[in-house]
Structure 1
Amino acid sequence: MTYKNSGGQEMDERFAAYITNANAVRAVASAVEGTIGPKGLDIMLVDRFGEVTITNDGVTILKLMDINHPAAKMLINIAKAQQEEVGDGTTTATIMAGTLVTEGVNQIIRGVPVARVIEGIKYGVKKAQEIMKTKATPVKGINDENLRKIAYIAGREHDDIADLVFEAAKLIGEEKLKEKNFRLRDIIIAKAGAENEVFLGLIIDKEKLNKQMPKEVYGAKILLIDDALEPEHIEEEALGTEAGFARYMELREEFKRNIEKIVELGVNVVFVGKNISDNAEELFVDKGILAVDRVSSRDLEKIAEHTGARMIKRSGLKKSQEEIKNYIGFAEKVYEDEKLEHIRIVGGNGRRMATILVGAATSEIVGERERIAKDAASSLQAAIKGGIVAGGGAVEIAVARELEREKEKLKGMATYGIDCVISALKRPLGQIVYNAGFNPLEKVEEVIYTQAEKNLDSIGVNCDTGELSDMLELGVLDPAPVKIHAIKAAGEIAEAILRIDTIIKKKDEDVGRANVDSTQGIKDLDF
């Protein structure tokens, strides 16, 4: 059996797995490469019900694609990991991984041993990360205008979103943004019909339980019940007995006393994780208490953090009033926005928290506006943590140039693996330039030559004019951690895929055989 490589040459069966994997990875990369850069276009994804998603966001495209090939799924998983780790750069990581795998397979077909290709890729990726770190410049505090430029570029040149994210960052402060478990992207909410806004406080995307409850509460005393607010249940069989019915009545009386205890403590806002009973609802209405039911655990945790409240279970309401007081949180104001159908909590006594509300003209573009804002927020936070580098593919070219010199330190065929990494580093600029309507081969070589001639790593291509420009002067910046992790992620997936030289479908448990068309590069085995 023979196969053809990308150059049309016939290859024997031993390269089948490499070729099919490279083709699958390349197909995934090609699906997102048209979105990169300021002139990148959108992708339309349509499900079987005809529902449409239009987006420029790499990880969203990859997650929604209908993919069956195992190597392609590996690539998608690495893009998800990139998103989880640094929140942006998934398209860059995917494009670079696609190039690494394709170039690696081409080297293997030419006769370079797989072990040497992988050795060179591992060395090149490690060195590329080290070099990239030396290119990073720390930001000059939370008010550094470069942070807004980062948000503007990552936010696909949306001025309003860049302003929102930058303002929110200043409200939250540098110390909070550097916390390991805090993610700026998590404070973003997009709503159709809303005005862009940043404020100190929280939005809970729920409505009050009863329209007769107050619309706003000043000097809020807040109780969080991570449970149902209703009497404990009695099994139906037990209700048929005298003792069971007596227990049922006892529990109802106890529940009533617990609700009255809440009222007597002056609690005027209650957030409940599950249901609120009709009796409790009626009493809350009578006493002017604002109550919200079915609040997610995550929202309860955020409210607790912002207001200083502690979550309590239904059984905890049996405690004395003095004990329950320790669970109550405070806020300057809690109110319902009837137009946008959510609850706002402002001025909590706990940790200072901010919310970014991104407006959208219609419900169809809410999701994309939110994704854009989350990318901008993630990039800004990454820049605070790890500094900035020249964007537009310029810094990758600078790293590739230095990596060329590193080849001299390796002997033998491992240098071919480094060539794969160099090609991958050139790929983002080439694709950005191509998407802008210019010749990528010509422009990449011009950038390489000009960077070396001027000893200036920030030289790139102005995608409006096609002229070479200093990306730093243009304000085209990227967060260094995004770039570093993209190289790392691309290298990991390339190494994993290039180690696969045979693909065998696992036997079907009820059929007892593995049988896949070998023209797909998968072994046809009979047991």
Structure 2
Amino acid sequence: MSQTRPPGAGQEGDEAYATLRNNLNAVQAICSAVEGTLGPKGLDTMLVGSHGEVIITNDGVTILEKMDVSHPAAQLLVQVARSQQERVGDGTTTATVLAGALVAEGARQVTRGVPVAKVVRGIQDGVAQAARSLTTRARPIEGLEDPVLYRIAYVAGREQADLAELIVGAARQLGAAKLREETFRFADVVQSLGQARGEVWPGLIVSKRPANAQAEFPERAAHVLIVQDEFAPEAVEEEALTTEAGYRRHLQLREHFVAALERLSELGVGLVASERSVDPEAEQFCTDRGIMVLQRVPRSLLRRLAEYAGARPVRRSALYRPASDWAGYLGYAGHIAYDERLGCVRIAEGRGRPQVSIVVGASTNEIAGERLRIARDAASALQAALRSGWLPGGGAAEIAAAHELDRYRETVRGMEGFGVEAVAHALRKPLSQIVVNAGYNPLEKVEEAKAAQLQAGSDALGIDCDTGAVLDMTEAGVVDPADVKLHALQAAGEVAAAVLRIHTVIRMRQLREE
């Protein structure tokens, strides 16, 4: 007895879906590299470079960015993780797992014969409905003393209590207003300093040795000059130097520069931070007068220093202005000192806006690098929670949203419902993967959690990875920032729609080099 094949089945169907299957295989290969790190029982990945360098991590974006990824569909998934990292700084593994599950479920519907356009439209609708569900479930943070903040940092910090305490302590020093600023990234204040002990410094730590490091720099209060340029006289073109007029111009500029240096000393400048290199004569002048000089400071750090000290960055042409004009450019710090043991400059008591520096230390560089990534994840998670509220973790909130989406699916007429169904399936993937990593049957445990939530009317019930029993995630302190989950879902929906729409892959013609 012959069997009836669905539309698109057979050889022609296989050819029609060849690109989709190829892209799906690439996406699943990427997901398999990170999904084993998800949850409290997730393990680490070792990345080995061509020259023997080693990174041991379970940070999703680090794994994906360091992997040798050449497949274009796989690169889309890497972009999801990068987008998640840039937007909220945490949840990259969740975003990747969700995207992979959405692509897999969408591809399953397409190969059943559902038109791609219908599936994509349904996925977009399902993602929007799920995002609304998660948003309405979010609980607000009740100020920086709210104990939930510590749990947020503890969970995102992979249960490293010392890092969570540092993050929360630094947040309280900064204040909620600073953390809510749109342009401020809390993770940027975290840094690693080799053999240093963990600490929160009430100011800025610049991990650079002074250009004039041969000098001794006792702790002092002083003005701060920030040069967003070379700390050197303006240059004369080499061709002009061959003429008498050009050479005189060169000497004149150097004389003006030396006069500007004299004004630095008269105005009580004790620290000069330059984005680019420092002129040797300027370095020697500053050394003789005990002025600390930092060169090649990244612009992002210069901005933070300017904000903290109350300074205005200048170009080197501004150095020639009269001393009366300098008042508006110079910043001030009540404590400037060089920490020779750690090779960094400590700045405190700035007259500008508050800043803190979180120092993370470890016994080896490899471990220090991983602890730095973990601490930055925790800082990003805390900031996201303060801005958007929090949700039960452990995949529990996603299970509740999936059930709500199942009910919505029943009201959808047309084939778009298959796309909505794909989103509901994908939302169960985080909990499914977490329990797989803990050694349990995912089908059994996901159904247990779903049934328990329906019976109790709670979106906080999930699975205890130690015992396999149903557990209230909120009572256990397993909580996540709402924004992390929302952005992960939305980014996953975007990449799934992009991958499913790809019908043909064509190699572009290489442009000839002229």
CA distance in 2, matches of 1:396, 1:474: 17
Say whether 1:267 aligns with 2:269: yes
> Is the contact between residue 198 and residue 361 of structure 2 (CA under 8 Å) also seen in structure 1?
yes
Q: Which amino acid aligns with 1:130?
A: R
Q: Does 1:230 align with 2:232?
A: yes
In the TM superposition, residue 237 of structure 1 has moved relative to its aligned partner by 4.3
Q: Deviations over 1:86-105 (max 9, x none)?
A: 11111111111111111111
Deviation sequence 1:27-46 (CA, Å, 0-9, x none): 11111000000000011111
Q: Per-residue CA shift, 1:486-521, capped at 9, x if unaligned?
A: 1111111111111112222334557xxxxxxxxxxx
Change (3 A) 1:268 1:443: same
Residue 268 of structure 1 aligns to a residue whose secondary structure is strand
Counterpart selection for 1:112 from 102, 111, 114: 114
Contact 2:41 2:437 in 1 (8 A): yes
Paired residue type of 2:343: E
Q: Which residue of 2 aligns with 1:5?
A: none
Could you tell me whether the CA contact under 8 Å between 1:213 and 1:284 is conserved in 2? no
Q: Does 1:491 align with 2:493?
A: yes
Distance (Å, rounded) in 2 between the aligned partners of 1:177 and 1:286: 41
Deviation at 1:136, TM superposition (A): 0.5
Q: State the match for 1:293 in structure 2.
A: 295
Could you list the per-position Cα deviations for residues 229-276 of structure 1 after superposition, in whole angstroms to 9, with x for gaps in the alignment?
A: 333333444444433333333222222211112111222222222232
Distance in 1, matches of 2:491 and 2:246, equals 61
Aligned to 1:123: 125
Q: Could you report, residue by residue, the CA deviation over 1:147-167 in whole angstroms, capped at 9, with x for unpaired residues? A: 010000011111011001111
Does residue 331 (structure 1) correspond to residue 333 (structure 2)? The answer is yes
- Are the aligned partners of 2:193 and 2:207 in contact in 1 as well (CA < 8 Å)? no
Q: State the distance in 2 between where 1:261 and 1:121 align.
A: 65
**Aligned equivalents of 1:211, 1:113: Cα separation in 2:** 67
Q: Who is 1:409 aligned against?
A: 411
Match for residue 32 of structure 1 among 28, 34, 38: 34
Q: In structure 2, do the counterparts of structure 1 residues 195 and 233 end up closer, same or farther at CA, with 3 Å as the change threshold?
A: same
The answer on whether the counterparts of 2:229 and 2:316 sit within 8 Å (CA) in structure 1 is: yes
Q: 1:120 to 1:239 in 2, by over 3 A?
A: closer
Q: State TM-score, norm by structure 1.
A: 0.92
Q: Secondary structure at the match of 1:37?
A: coil
Residues 325, 499 of structure 1: alpha-carbon distance in 2 compared, 3 angstrom cutoff: same
Contact 1:29–1:98 (CA under 8 A) maintained in structure 2:
yes
Give the alignment partner of residue 320 of structure 1, picking from 315, 319, 322. Answer: 322
Partner of 1:418: 420
Aligned partner (choices 130, 134, 144) of residue 132 of structure 1:
134
Displacement of 1:200 after TM fit? 1.5
Separation in structure 1 between the aligned mates of residue 70 and residue 283 of structure 2, nearest angstrom: 50
Q: 1:49 to 1:9 in 2, by over 3 A?
A: farther
CA contact (8 A) 1:219 1:331 kept: yes
Q: Structure 2 vs 1, CA of residues 444 and 252 (structure 1 numbering), >3 Å: closer, same or farther?
A: same
- Secondary structure in 1 aligned to 2:139? coil
Measured after TM superposition, the shift of residue 286 of structure 1 is 2.2
Q: State the distance in 1 between where 2:190 and 2:274 align.
A: 23
Distance in 2 of aligned mates of 1:84 and 1:418? 28
> In the alignment, which residue of structure 1 is the partner of 2:170?
168
Q: In the alignment, does 2:211 pair up with 1:209?
A: yes
Query: Aligned residue for 2:373?
Result: 371
Contact preservation (8 Å) 2:209, 2:345: yes
Could you say what secondary structure the match of 2:428 adopts?
Answer: helix
CA distance in 1, matches of 2:128, 2:395: 19
Give the alignment of 1:160-199 within 5 angstroms: 160-199=162-201
Which residue identity does 1:474 align to in structure 2? Answer: A
Matched, 1:145 2:147: yes
Alpha-carbon separation, structure 2, partners of 1:114 and 1:431: 27
**Residue type at the aligned position of 1:345:** I
CA contact (8 A) 1:214 1:289 kept: no
Deviation at 1:283? Answer: 2.2
Tell me, in whole angstroms, the C-alpha distance in 1 between the residues paired with 2:251 and 2:182: 50
Within a 5 Å distance, the mapping from 1:276-291 to structure 2 comes to 276-291=278-293
Q: CA deviation at 1:179?
A: 0.9
Contact 2:217 2:290 in 1 (8 A): no
> What residue in structure 2 maps to residue 520 of structure 1?
none
Matched, 1:466 2:471: no
The equivalent of 2:100 in structure 1 is 98
| Residue of structure 2 aligned with 1:257, choices 243, 256, 259 | 259
Deviation at 1:48, TM superposition (A): 1.8
1:14 equivalenced with 2:16 (yes/no): yes
TM-score, scaled to structure 2:
0.95
Superposition deviation, residue 212 in structure 1: 4.3
CA shift for structure 1 position 328: 1.3
3-state DSSP class of the match of 1:189? strand
Does the CA-based 8 Å contact 1:213-1:289 persist in structure 2?
no
The unaligned stretches of length 5 or more in structure 2 are: 1-8
Specify the SS of the correspondent of 1:312.
Answer: coil
| Structure 1 residues 211 and 96: CA distance shift in structure 2, 3 A | closer
Q: Following TM superposition, where does structure 1 have runs of at least 4 consecutive aligned residues deviating by more than 6 angstroms?
A: none
Residue among 218, 221, 246 paired with 2:220? 218
| 1:12 shift after superposition | 2.2
- What is the CA distance between 1:299 and its match in structure 2? 2.0
| Alignment partner of 1:443 out of 442, 445, 452 | 445
2:304 to 302, 305, 314: 302
Q: Which amino acid aligns with 1:49?
A: H
Structure 1 segment 66-81 matched on structure 2, within 5 A: 66-81=68-83
CA distance in 2, matches of 1:235, 1:99: 60
CA distance in 2, matches of 1:415, 1:258: 72
Distance in 2 (alpha carbons) for counterparts of 1:92 and 1:242 = 67
Whether the 8 Å contact between 1:214 and 1:290 is mirrored in structure 2 is no
Assess, with a 3 A threshold, how the Cα gap between structure 1 residues 263 and 374 changes in structure 2: closer, same or farther: same
Go from structure 1 to structure 2 and tell me whether the alpha carbon gap of 1:317 and 1:100 turns closer, same or farther (over 3 Å shift): same
- Residues 210 and 285, structure 1, Cα contact 8 Å, conserved in 2: yes
The residue aligned with 1:482 is 484
Percent identity reads 49
Q: Is residue 2:416 matched to residue 1:434?
A: no
